[in-house]
Structure 1
Amino acid sequence: MEQRDIEIFLTLAEELHFGRAAARLNVSTARVSQTIRRLERRIGTRLFDRTSRRVVLTPVGARLEQDLRPAYEQIRRAVERAIAAGRGMEGVLRVGFVGTAVGGFLHRVAADFRREHPACRVEIHEARYSDFLDLLRSGERDMMLVPVPVREPDMVCGPVLFAEPSVLAVPAGHPFARRASVTLEDFARDKVLRPAGLPGYMDESLVPARTPAGRPIERGPTFATVQEMLALIGAGQGVFPVPAHAGTYDVRPDIAYVPIVDGLPRERRLVWRAAAENNRVRAFDEAARAFVAAHPDPLLGARPPR
């Protein structure tokens, strides 16, 4: 028996309808009928009882289906594993992130990715502002979801997946905490914290060196992680612009979040080392873009209304 003959027989055994089986296999109904008749001639008995109203397996057909299906599924899985290996879709993909809610976003993308590529395991790990480039360059991470533009000659920066407004995180007792909003001009009135280890252009994408009117923005202590940043703000050591979702995910009694009316949107994109780009990396980037396109709020993972 040819593999295609087995596939047609097993599909008809599931559907018990020649038209549905043909549509599922993308062949003609005549091809299904001819294949079944040929199998029946070879075996020497009917495999299906057919009337104008229904199609049912005969006892011999039912036994053949029971014997064939496990072996067929084993062969199919073996071929799929071989294809995955040949395309570089087997193994582990290690994806990092900087932030809080974006970790959940990556786990939801990974779930979609694994449904399409079950031979590839995805590991999600948090990273620090200070070391995400080192993790990529050392090969400890294959990809990274970051809140800053990356213009490094050895890195590939994917398109912006989504953006959200920034809010200013301030101590709960700060004068700004009683205001409905602040502007970039207000940044000159306090110390603004600094992420540790970022190249200058990345740092300035988060906090400009000067206000729109040209006043210098004084920088405060550095931090390596989001939790370090929040602890410094809560202790009154400075302020820092954060993504708007922080008002939901990083609620603390010692911190207030104030909308910034004139800019600093926080954009998220995937980044990977150019020399390490492979099919797994490209497929995960495509899965992330597809997830964003299908969800009005990528961080919450809400499905669009139908």
Structure 2
Amino acid sequence: MDLDLSCVESFVVLAYERHFGRAAACLNLSSSALSKRLARLERQVGVRLIDRDPGGYVELTPAGDRFISHARELLRHAREARRHALQGEGSPIVHLGIPGSPSDHIPVPTWKTMVTAIAQTLPTCRLQACSVPYGRVEESVLTGRVDVLLSTGEFDHSGLSTTVLMRVGRVLLVPVHHELAGERRIRAMDMADLPLIREPTATTRWMKPWLLGDLRDPADTPTVDVSARTLADVQKAVLDGRAATVASATLVPMVRPGLTALPLRDVPSIPLFAVRRRHDERDEVLTVIEALRVLTAAFVTTHSQEVPDGSQAVAAPANS
């Protein structure tokens, strides 16, 4: 029996989320519909792929572990096949993935500048921004859902290639009435007991910079789980007093009223990456990454006065 690609994609999402409810939400399905898709796939493959406990938590079976890498490749090849079929029907599209929402990270004028610059450099290419759930950043690239991912965090998958666009400082977002809001110098030790937001669907590795995991044992950081699809959801949780959050200094111009961004003085900067599939060396993909490098440097120059002193973003050298 042929494999249903919608069932394969559902399995890949479920393998990342490790929870039926969260995976169903990502796929805009009900849990029962997701269960039916999985059952159909297991019939098609001929073996059980997951074990599920009463709480909805998922563990891959040994067969599921063996199948997952092939499933990702299958989805990637399917998207590549469609892309090649459409090549003669118009300009190729490069899908740029951004965790949360594109408008959270790229101001509209900057986005227009980016699209224009890429159009001038590679007139046969079109750029399309895509929202990527926080829990599916690596998977979005590996399966071909996006061609280039713009993200901080840590990536060590052998199938991915990362280009450092620039290094960015980190700030602490708190409500303007918070007890720390009047401080001019915030050190990591000053916020040792401060609960920080943790997105439960994101991997521990990707969340590491936002929980200061590069400075201390994550077990020493109190966290509050906040399910967030966009930066706006994160900021609302901070404004509501649920917890504080560490954020990139580049987001300071987009901080909503009622919040303040405090520079973290003894916290090292982190890289902002352009991530692609390691063997994807299409001209349009490489051109988009180079344009991102140039434009992020321009963004730093334009907004340098808006970023708190001590946490400014720094453009990376061209050969990073």
Normalising by structure 1, report the TM-score.
0.61
Once the two structures are aligned, what percentage of the paired residues are identical?
Answer: 16
Hey, what does 2:209 align to over in structure 1? 205
- Determine the C-alpha separation between the residues in 1 that align with 2:95 and 2:142: 13
Hey, what does 1:229 align to over in structure 2? 234
Cα offset, 1:171, TM superposition? 2.4
Aligned partner of residue 177 in structure 1, secondary structure? coil
Q: Which runs of 5+ in 2 are unaligned?
A: 1-86, 306-320
- Determine the C-alpha separation between the residues in 2 that align with 1:259 and 1:301: 13
Cα offset, 1:188, TM superposition? 1.7
- Aligned positions of 1:46-195 closer than 5 A: 90-98=91-99, 100-102=104-106, 104=108, 105-158=110-163, 160-195=164-199
Hey, what does 2:220 align to over in structure 1? 216
Q: Is the 8 A contact 1:107 1:124 kept in 2?
A: no
CA, structure 1 residues 191+275, in 2 after alignment: closer, same or farther (shift >3 Å)? same
- Determine the C-alpha separation between the residues in 2 that align with 1:148 and 1:213: 17
CA, structure 1 residues 138+298, in 2 after alignment: closer, same or farther (shift >3 Å)? farther
Q: Is the 8 A contact 1:164 1:244 kept in 2?
A: yes
Number of residues of Structure 1 aligned to a counterpart in Structure 2? 213
Cα offset, 1:127, TM superposition? 2.6
- Aligned positions of 1:22-41 closer than 5 A: none
CA, structure 1 residues 264+222, in 2 after alignment: closer, same or farther (shift >3 Å)? farther
Hey, what does 2:35 align to over in structure 1? none
Aligned partner of residue 186 in structure 2, secondary structure? coil
RMSD of the alignment, in Å?
3.1
Q: Is the 8 A contact 2:94 2:128 kept in 1?
A: yes
- Determine the C-alpha separation between the residues in 1 that align with 2:191 and 2:106: 26
- Determine the C-alpha separation between the residues in 1 that align with 2:270 and 2:95: 23
- Determine the C-alpha separation between the residues in 2 that align with 1:252 and 1:264: 27
Aligned partner of residue 150 in structure 1, secondary structure? coil
Q: Which runs of 5+ in 1 are unaligned?
A: 1-84
Q: Is the 8 A contact 1:188 1:215 kept in 2?
A: no
**Which AA in structure 2 matches 1:133?**
E
Match of 1:288 among 292, 301, 304: 292
Larger Rg: 1
Deviations 1:12-32 (A, max 9, x none): xxxxxxxxxxxxxxxxxxxxx
CA, structure 1 residues 273+146, in 2 after alignment: closer, same or farther (shift >3 Å)? same
Moved more, 94-103 or 120-129: 94-103
- Determine the C-alpha separation between the residues in 2 that align with 1:267 and 1:210: 13
Aligned partner of residue 115 in structure 2, secondary structure? helix
Hey, what does 1:270 align to over in structure 2? 274
